[in-house]
Amino acid sequence: MDHFLYQNGQLCAEDVPVAEIAAEVGTPFYLYSTATLTRHFRLFDEALNGLDHLVCYAMKAASNQAILKTLADLGAGMDVVSGGEYARAIAAGVPGDRIVFSGVGKTRDEMQAALAGGIRQFNVESEPEMQLLSSVATEMGKTAPITIRVNPDVDAKTHAKIATGKSENKFGIPISRARDVYAMAAALPGLHIIGIDVHIGSQITELEPYRQAYLKVAELTDVLRADGHDIRRLDLGGGLGIPYERSNEAPPLPTEYGALIKETLGHLGCEIEIEPGRLVAGNAGIMVTKVIYVKSGEDRDFLILDGAMNDLIRPAMYDAHHDIIPVAEPAAGIEQQPYDIVGPVCESGDTFAKKRMMPPLSAGDLVAFRSAGAYGAVMSSEYNTRPLIPEVLVHEHQFAVIRARPTFEDMIKRDTIPHWL
């Protein structure tokens, strides 16, 4: 469920007509719903009722500080994967003891910043990282709380580019080597083992891969405790998918996911962390863009939009589907026709959809890309010297620009011409 619905013939974000925002902000832009962010976070939080738990939002999905503060005020922790994300979380008012640091390539500077500013835990992914973290923590006179990310070699049945739990993926250590690596960690100074971390992928649409992974984690917990390790926290990652096509069967609900966690791991008495991102933010955001031209080709018609692949890269990168709808509600029973929906960037890859059935549209009409709240704005770029598009947050009947569109002058003045030119 989201809060982007037609009211009186116009698409609205909560109680605000999208066309009114477009008239003030210009197109294209990203638009987020506070009510949807809130609802989706609470679904995860309530799904773990009865367990000691923390829901850590995976902020790589959408990292605007207004979104982070909205979720942090609800009690969310944050899962960060870079020093920049850590700094953003701190700037948004998230306390360090609610920030989890993940990622395969943490640097010395990132470790120092997190240890100095406060951190809930590092999810360590390799022996070299563990050795560096030990050295950094010892130099600073700190103790780094760690989990070790294990790779359970489970196929998450998702896109190859967002699978993280198979043996060929770069993430974590093989679960078969976990005992040796935990023994190594216990012998290093400056580290404090608190638990186990696992993450098998993103946009997962069935529960069975989770079941396979979590049963392996439960078995490993018993083994490591028998070895003398105080395993009291399990970080289970995120990855639960969302329905990008409204006509498709919906992925499992957070309540079903929570029930699976309780069934497979609830008996261990561990604190549970989960790191949802896409399901919290995905359907909480849309991208609004305008038709520039309707072009007739040899065997097809094109809708040429002012939004482009630099604004929403997912279709070009992942062949991802987004439902695309007119902002003005089509008349009931209106005949639809196929369009190739494209942007203005000078790349054939700047194609959002082919032969997509749409009601007849004209230049100047607004359309909205649904389910664009996750991995939309955060993956955008200034390719073709196109400004990053604004982000807007709606709360009931009001809205605010939470990232402004830079001017060409803003973009160009960042360049520096060397003195010899």
Which segment, 162-176, 195-209, 329-343, is predicted with the most confidence on average? 329-343
Burial of 29 (C-beta count, 10 Å sphere; 0-12/13-18/19+): buried
Largest CA distance in the chain: 71
pLDDT at site 162 = 43
Tokens 């598009």 locate to 389
Dihedral pair phi/psi, residue 78, rounded to 5°: -130, 140
Residue 164: the pLDDT is 46
> What's the confidence (pLDDT) of residue 281?
97
pLDDT tens per residue across span 246-280? 656 678 899 999 999 999 999 999 999 999 999 99
For the chain, which residues make up each domain, given as ranges?
4-31+282-412, 34-281
How far is the CA of 370 from the CAs of 286, 321, 350, 374, in angstroms? Answer: 5, 10, 18, 11
For helices 178-187 and 127-140, what crossing angle results, to 10°?
A: 20
Q: Which residue did the predictor score with more confidence, 45 or 1?
A: 45
Q: Which helix (H) or strand (E) holds 101?
A: strand 99-101
Predicted model pTM: 0.93
Counting residues of the chain whose pLDDT is more than 70, the rounded percentage is: 95
Q: What is the pLDDT of residue 2?
A: 86
Q: Tokens at residue 39, please?
A: 């609802």
Instruction: Give the rounded percent of residues in the chain with a pLDDT score beyond 90.
Output: 86
Shortest CA distance to 120 belongs to which of 66, 195, 38? Answer: 195
Closest residue by Cα to residue 266 from 218, 198, 196: 218
Which CATH code is given to the segment(s) 4-31+282-412?
2.40.37.10
Tokens of 4: 């982007």
The class that CATH gives domain 34-281 is alpha beta
pLDDT reported for residue 249: 62
Q: 339 - beta bridge partners? A: 356
Q: For 159-190, how does the pLDDT look when each residue is reduced to its tens digit (9 = 90+)?
A: 454 444 444 555 689 998 999 999 999 999 99
Same fold, 4-31+282-412 and 34-281: no
| pLDDT of res. 219 | 96
* Pairwise CA distance, residues 324 & 68, whole Å: 27
Query: What average pLDDT does the chain have?
Result: 93
- Position 159 scores a pLDDT of 45
Q: Cβ distance 290 to 364 under 8 Å?
A: yes
Give every CB contact of residue 244 below 8 A, 6+ residues apart in sequence. Answer: 282, 320, 321, 322, 323, 370, 371
Show the tokens assigned to 47: 């799904």
**pLDDT value, residue 200:** 86
In order, the DSSP letters of 323-381 are -EEESBPPPTTPPPEEEEEE-SSSSTT-EEEEEEEE----TT-EEEESS-SSSSGGG--
- What pLDDT, in 10s, does the model give residues 40-83? 999 999 999 999 999 999 999 999 999 999 999 999 999 999 99
Q: What's the confidence (pLDDT) of residue 273?
A: 98
The residues annotated with a catalytic role in the active site are 346
Q: What pLDDT is attached to residue 300?
A: 85
Q: How far is 126 from 9, CA to CA, in rounded Å?
A: 55
pLDDT of 357-405, one tens digit each?
Answer: 999 999 999 999 999 999 999 999 999 999 999 999 999 999 999 999 9
Q: Comparing C-alpha atoms, which of 169, 246, 232, 225 is closest to residue 200?
A: 169
Q: For residue 243, what pLDDT band results from cuts at 50, 70 and 90?
A: confident
